[in-house]
Amino acid sequence: MSRQSRTSPAASEQSLHQAYDTALLDLDGVVYAGGEAIAYAVESLAAARADGMHLAYVTNNALRTPDAVAEHLGELGIPTVAAEVITSAQAVARLIAEQVEPGSKVLVIGGDGLRVALRERGLVPVESAEEEGLAAVVQGYGGPDLPWGRFAEASYAINRGVPWFASNTDLTIPGARGIAPGNGAAVEVVRIATGAEPQVAGKPLPPMHRETVLRTGAERPLVVGDRLDTDIEGAFNGEVDSLLVLTGVTDAEQLLRAEPRHRPTYVDRDLRGLLTGQPEVEPCAEGFRCGGWTAVATNGGVLELREAGEGGEAGEGGEVGQGGQGGEVGDPLDALRALCAAAWTVAGDGVCTLDAAKALARLGL
């Protein structure tokens, strides 16, 4: 992949699990949500691994340790060892260790994932801003029960000039009951109280990509995620290919309006997309065609869907079919892929402003 602006989802004749040697999988919103496996995740990952694809789980969630994540995945039916889990806690611990003396004290605002990662780098996690010789403050997701007073503790130290680090700045996190505030929201609280800016390690920034490469040794990696501003942008920054799955925080409308660094190589409903090829999106006289659908950017500022080769709007008088993962007439994923090509081409290096509401309403995605 190059950093040139993408104007269409890519095609792949090979199944993705055969075209790439390693899947770098986000967890929340991709493999599980609220602790429960997302539909089709377990069997899709098992099939990909059985065919020789290496699996690595790359998460911005710094709350839990790799051992705890691996145990949880095992309970869900996804056999995993701790070495296959890479967290933003590990990335930020390495970042801190490169800037402070060995054995330095670091104030932890977050969970055990941060504490274990700091110890792995020879640093000493502490709980109070009053610790003598405090070298850094690190902030990571602490779960919904993290006391408000922890943000005050961070602020006391930062306001005295102690360097501030954050595992990640995801504003939200998907859960079983919906979308909840993420570590980025907590970072904003401390930023308001201090006026300071943290050094951030997690996706989409280089420290997380470096940590992942060092720990996996992947040669042809495919980033698999649900977030445009972390997973997909991280792949863009690392110049590797990406698969967006629609099981987490990104919806079809956000995808159409994606700026160049947020446009995935491929898009699919869920992790079954790893086991298939990806259909070609072709330019045609009317617009862009994929499967049984053509997407058209009209002069009236509207994105329309039409049946391929015909002038009428697709699905007139009926619903879009629920076909397979790609290539079948009526498959809403093919319609979305065609719409992406139309929207991204019009947008170029910017953001698409065409009205796609009517077209998207028919897809049921």
Catalytic residue annotation? 26, 28
Cβ neighbour number for residue 117 with a 10 Å cutoff:
28
Tell me how far apart the alpha carbons of residues 184 and 186 are, in angstroms, rounded to a whole number: 5
Burial class (CB in 10 A: 0-12, 13-18, 19+), 331: buried
Tell which residue, 160, 155, 162, has the closest CA to residue 188.
155
First to last CA, the chain: 27
- 222, 16 Cβ separation under 8 angstroms: yes
- Radius of gyration of the chain measured on its C-alpha atoms: 22
Tell me how far apart the alpha carbons of residues 98 and 296 are, in angstroms, rounded to a whole number: 51
Burial class (CB in 10 A: 0-12, 13-18, 19+), 161: exposed
Tell me how far apart the alpha carbons of residues 266 and 242 are, in angstroms, rounded to a whole number: 6
Triad 171, 232, 331: Cα angle to 5°: 110
Residue 36 bridge partners (DSSP): 33
